[in-house]
Amino acid sequence: MKGKAAFVLGAGLGYLLGTPAGREKLDKVKAKLTDSWNDPRVQEKVSDLRSKATSGSSDDPWASPSPDVSSPSSSTTGASGGPDLGGTTDSDYRSTP
């Protein structure tokens, strides 16, 4: 099935790029897309989305908050200086005489 889809896709691209009629159709599609992109309504939406993306604010309730990059306090560090994950301590690994 993949081979058939690749063949059809290749044949379509060959037609579009290799024949004068295909290039004419490609130029028409390109002109239509350019006209759509330059439409003021589309550009208004683009600028709205761009300002939302750069402002950092989101109306999405599932958006994750900004990560806290402050240094960890001493109450959250373990005996070895790493984060305190609970569980065993260094004294649990000392060998018994």
Question: Of all residues in the chain, what percent carry a pLDDT higher than 70?
Answer: 57
pLDDT greater than 70 at residue 79: no
Higher pLDDT, 73 or 86: 86
Alpha helices per DSSP H over 1-97: 2-18, 20-37, 40-55
Cα(88)–Cα(65) distance, rounded to whole angstroms?
31
28 band by pLDDT with thresholds 50, 70 and 90: very high
**90 neighbors 79 (Cβ within 8 angstroms):** yes
Q: What is the mean pLDDT of residues 13-25?
A: 87
Q: What is the pTM of this model?
A: 0.42
Mean pLDDT of the chain: 77
Report which of residues 42 and 54 the model is more confident about: 42
Average pLDDT over residues 38-62: 82
